[in-house]
Chains A and B, each alone.
Chain A
Amino acid sequence: MDLNEGSGRDHLVSAASLPLQPGTGPRDGAPPVLEMRGVTKRYPGVLANDHIDLDLRAGEIHGLLGENGAGKTTLMNILYGLVTPDEGEILLDGKAVQIREPSDAIARGISMVHQHFMLVPVLSVADNILLGEEPMAGPIFLDRAGSQRRIRELSKSFGWEVDPNQRVESLSVGWQQRVEILKALYRSARVLVLDEPTAVLTPQETNEIFSVLRKLRAEGYAIVFISHKLYEVLEIADRITVIRRGRVVGSRRPSETDEDDLAELMVGREVKLTVERGTSHPGEPVLVVDNLHARDDRRHETVRGINLSVRAGEILGIAGVAGNGQDELVQSLTGLRRPTSGHVTILGRDVTGHPPAALYRGGLAHVPADRQRHGLVMSFPLDDNLILTDYGSRPYATTGGLIRDPEAIDKRADELIAEFDIRTPSREVAVSTLSGGNQQKAIVAREFSKGPSVLILDQPTRGLDVGSIEFIRQQAVAMRDRGVAILLVSAELDEVMELSDRIAVIYRGELVATVDGRSANREDIGLLMATGRAAANGAQPDTVTQ
């Protein structure tokens, strides 16, 4: 915990040294609620946090920006007691504190809302909020009545009507997020860390969460807002700290910066935020889906008669709120789920219900939504992962597909690592040690380089940093220009709008509208996503044509 060892710190602009302008934040001049000083964390071969200084004031929303692997998560995990720093200290109200585990953090009023909600779906809202800190009425029974009253009061103070008895699984994603926030507030949090809270929300839900955050700010809460959506950080934050490669590389106020400036700080070079998508020259239909029906694991029909057709050299984007049948649609097209009825053809060949291996042979490539669950084997080395979907074919398997050829695999791995700029110490490290962006690049490298005729991209940039997003989107456009038929499914409306030549909106398992990708209006699509209907006075979308 030696602060004097801060070599190379001097030339960096730290958040703490940035003078606060009077009148810009609600509680300026107040001492910081929380200060992190010289926080350093080393992992073998990596300096995850390099003498990071960060401060947080009451009534402030502090935006934290950085590429994946830049060290944001490590820093927040240190704050939350999940990781022990090698150097540096944390001060709460000016006093140094030790945070060894999350319970220390919670006891001191620091709460974290994770990107992936930590809620138990089958429990009620109240039970989820109380979990881990159950209030007792006497030695045996829970004080349910009292805690429910508190939850109602707390939620009402934000203008929410939450029924404490409702099961969490029946709530929308936006409401689940509010339960997470309520949970934090219920534990008397003063410092709230939100890790990419808008990643899974519609534009409307994002606006609602923003109004909640503004209310919390007005009441004096200190909020760390982590996001990779630059315009959101610019909209909501009072100060923005940018981290790159474990260091604070800059601190900005929204009024004195813009998206390009922030992106450049994050990545360390100039970044094109919008992909030059150019014009597309669609050819013949390659992937044709005819009246497809499918059920989810609980036997509910979630794909209800979908018709679509993707032509060679075009990107068809599917926009929709998560859980409207996108998962089952993609699984039905990629051999991971057997559709209940309907037909899928690729290049005129009926491939309905074919297993993945047969589909791959027929020219399909698939970037799955969940890279850690489906796309990669995390404990395997990078080279094995780079051939995961063609492990059994030449040249990676010889002697009739029985014996693996390590040399061919190594050679392929080296090529892909170079071509797709996968940052890794070697091709032999477990893929779990790579950053999220590089993991996704590994999948993209593998699937894009197979020479597919149909490419299914499911949430291709979820949770990635701007640099990786830029790269993957450019690669997708390049694939389109090479005549590949691309089906893009994404919960990020921005992504669908930016890449798609046509946009189809999915709502409760049906495509409710197909619109032109270049003239589409963000609000109209948002409304279609949320209600399945176009606005009465808005631009009328084309009807579904296929």
Chain B
Amino acid sequence: MRLREAGGNALAIVAVPALAVLLGLVAGAVVMIISNSLSTGVTDLTLPLGAYGSMLAGSVTGLDELVRTVSEAAPLILAGLSVGIGFKAGLFNIGANGQYLMGALGAAGTAAAVSAWSPWAAIPMALGAGMLAGTVYGFIPGALKAWTGAHEVVTTIMLNFIAAATIAYLVTGPLRTPGASFARTGDVGNAALPIIIGRQTGTGDLGILFALAAVPLAWLLLSRSVLGFEIRTTGANPSAALYAGMRPGRLIILTMSLCGLLAGLAGAGQVLGISHFISASYSTSVGFDAITVALLGRAHPIGILFAALLFGLMRAGSALMQIRERVPVEIIDVIQAVILLFLAADIIVRTIFRIRTERGGVEELKTVTRTYGGAA
């Protein structure tokens, strides 16, 4: 009885996200067929099969491909956890993108300065600087909310722009490396994260391990720790949290700082592991994709892991898809957008697939809708 209950619940929880992905793939297929028929005049109904086939071929069929998938997923896992933990606390962290950028900036600037140090010192310095920059960038909207009531949705959106502007200023100014043909930071040198797995076409750096380790740690935090209980209580019912003797203001600051740390680590990992420098126009969409990842993963660390891997898979495989089937890589943006649409409007998914259980809904969305209502 207990087992069946638990199994039933798990199925209900996964149902809407899984079906949203299915609908996203169907919508992607329809767009592929139509756009192909408009541009070539040929209506090829088997095109999506070929496209999705080569997407899989480019992402899961060998070690290199798998490593590429995980490597693409790593920043999404960290940023997804950042947004997901925010959801658990009733906070809508739209600022993961800015926190990611600040993490990247902090890591790139520090790494350039310590690039000649021994890797044992340079890597922790650069990573630590990236995490610290992200943490501070999460602390700011948290403190603004706790102390003044300023809404995190508004402040984090603004902070995203400030992060991009800060990068532009620092990289064209104080952090610019002399002698380069464009404004960029110096090479990370010895602060580069070592490659730990994979061969030439698909390599994975140490950053993958950080991302994979963050999943069980986040789960432990949320499910087993007193702090996680406080975070979840504040998110589920702030009034009850206050009554229970928790301090919601302090928890909001702490949670937002933690969100910033995770997103900052994602940015630092990208710079130190892959790009090895940032330019003045450095930008990303990881922080926004992370919102979809967190919703798709139902704000649960394991769910976020799988959602990020799915998105990583699409990114890793999209290049081969474009080469083989001439389907532009942008199709994955379409799929991603449709998934988000169906998660947000889960009533559509429930109607199409006749899901009746009330538990099927994506509860984290309440944070999204409630935060817009202005209830602090």
Residues of A within 8 A of B (CB): 334-336, 355-357, 360, 366, 368, 373-380, 384, 388-389, 391-392, 397, 401-404, 406, 426
Contacts and interface: CB of A to CB of B under 8 A. Distances in A.
Contacts of A397: 226
A356 B89 CA distance: 20
B242 A380 contact: no
Given A373-B239, A377-B233, A377-B237, A388 B244 contact: yes
Interface in B212-269: 224-227, 229-230, 232-233, 236-237, 239-247
B236 A377 contact: yes
B224 to A, nearest CB: 6
Given A377-B240, A401-B226, 7 more contacts: A380-B236, A384-B229, A388-B244, A391-B230, A397-B226, A404-B224, A406-B224
A392 B246 CA distance: 9
Contact of B243 (A356, A378, A379, A404): A356
A64 to B, nearest CB: 27
Contact of B226 (A360, A368, A373, A404): A404
The 5 closest A-B pairs by CB, nearest first: A357-B245, A374-B243, A356-B245, A377-B237, A388-B244
A356 B233 CA distance: 15
A373 B236 contact: no
B236 A403 contact: no
Interface of B: 2, 224-227, 229-230, 232-233, 236-237, 239-247, 363
B196 to A, nearest CB: 31
A404 B225 contact: yes
A379 B226 contact: no
Contact of A378 (B227, B229, B237): B237
Contact of B229 (A334, A355, A404): A404
B239 A374 contact: yes
Nearest to A373: B239
B244 A403 contact: no
Nearest to B6: A428
28 contacts: A334-B243, A336-B243, A355-B245, A355-B247, A357-B245, A368-B243, A373-B237, A374-B240, A376-B240, A377-B233, A377-B236, A378-B236, A378-B237, A379-B236, A379-B237, A384-B229, A388-B233, A388-B240, A389-B243, A391-B226, A391-B229, A391-B244, A392-B226, A392-B230, A392-B245, A397-B226, A403-B225, A403-B226
Contacts of B224: 403-404, 406
A360 B240 contact: no
Given A355-B247, A360-B245, A402 B240 contact: no
B244 A356 contact: yes
A454 to B, nearest CB: 15
Contacts of A366: 243
Contacts of B242: 336, 356, 374
A380 B233 contact: yes
Contacts, number: 69
A375 B243 contact: yes
B240 A375 contact: yes
Contact of A402 (B227, B233, B241, B247): B227
Contacts of B230: 391-392
A407 to B, nearest CB: 12
Contacts of B227: 402
B226 A402 contact: yes
A389 B225 contact: no
A86 to B, nearest CB: 13
Nearest to B366: A379
B8 to A, nearest CB: 10
B245 A373 contact: no
Contacts of B225: 402-404
B237 A389 contact: no
A494 to B, nearest CB: 27
A397 B243 CA distance: 18
Contacts of B245: 335, 355-357, 360, 389, 392
Contacts of A335: 245
Nearest to A335: B245
Contacts of B244: 356, 388-389, 391
A404 B226 CA distance: 6
Residue in B229, B233, B241, B244 with the greatest tally of chain A CB atoms within 10 Å: B244
Nearest to A356: B245
Contacts of B243: 334, 336, 356, 366, 368, 374-375, 388-389
B134 to A, nearest CB: 23
A177 B75 CA distance: 57
A404 B363 CA distance: 24
B252 to A, nearest CB: 16
B169 to A, nearest CB: 41
B238 to A, nearest CB: 10
A161 to B, nearest CB: 37
Contacts of A377: 233, 236-237, 240-241
A383 B239 CA distance: 19
A380 B224 CA distance: 14
A163 to B, nearest CB: 32
A392 B228 CA distance: 11
Contacts of A402: 225-227
A388 B240 CA distance: 9
Contacts of B239: 373-374
A491 to B, nearest CB: 20
A473 to B, nearest CB: 23
Contacts of A401: 226
A376 B226 CA distance: 17
A360 to B, nearest CB: 6
Contacts of B229: 384, 391, 404
Nearest to A430: B359
A375 B246 CA distance: 13
A377 B233 CA distance: 7
Contacts of B232: 380
A404 B243 CA distance: 19
A356 B244 CA distance: 7
A356 B246 CA distance: 8
Contacts of B241: 377
A542 B244 CA distance: 37
B375 to A, nearest CB: 12
A426 B1 CA distance: 12
A251 to B, nearest CB: 34
A351 B230 CA distance: 24
Contacts of A388: 233, 240, 243-244
B22 to A, nearest CB: 27
Nearest to A360: B245
Nearest to A396: B226
A376 B2 CA distance: 24
A137 to B, nearest CB: 34
A336 B241 CA distance: 11
A356 to B, nearest CB: 4
Contacts of B236: 377-380
